[in-house]
């Protein structure tokens, strides 16, 4: 009987898009202008079997801008879009606000 085997594929680095607190966009560690985000992602995704992407945005970024970036990501052909979140840290003891009752 004939068998075919597929070569083992090394685990690929996850594709992470980051928006920093200066509205700068990065694909993994490479900065890309908003106007070229869709084009760059399309080129990257051509060679990717897994068409999933993670998005991480600074909490100070306006929601509307994040939605625009998400739209560009989806238009590039991304099939799965995950959000990277940071745990909410408790405020330091010195920063507690008193509640009047």
Give residue limits of the domains in the chain.
16-83
Q: What global pTM score does this model have?
A: 0.71
DSSP secondary structure letter of residue 94: G
3-state secondary structure of 74: helix
Query: What one-character-per-residue DSSP string does 42-95 give?
Result: HHHHHT-S--EEEEEE-TTS-HHHHHHHHHHHHHTT-SEEEE---PPPPPPGGG
CATH number 3.90.700.10 given to 16-83: no
pLDDT along the chain (101 residues), means of 10: 38 82 95 97 87 92 96 94 79 52 51
pLDDT of residue 86: 76
């Amino acid at each position: 009987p004939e068998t075919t085997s597929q070569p083992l594929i090394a685990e690929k680095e996850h594709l992470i898009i980051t928006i920093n607190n200066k509205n700068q966009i990065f694909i993994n560690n490479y900065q890309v202008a908003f106007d070229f985000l869709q084009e760059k992602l399309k080129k990257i995704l051509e060679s990717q079997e897994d068409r999933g992407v993670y998005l991480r945005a600074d909490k100070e970024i306006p929601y509307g801008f994040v939605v625009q970036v998400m739209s560009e990501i989806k238009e590039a052909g991304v099939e799965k879009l995950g959000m990277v979140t940071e745990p909410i840290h408790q405020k330091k003891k010195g920063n507690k606000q008193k509640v009047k009752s």
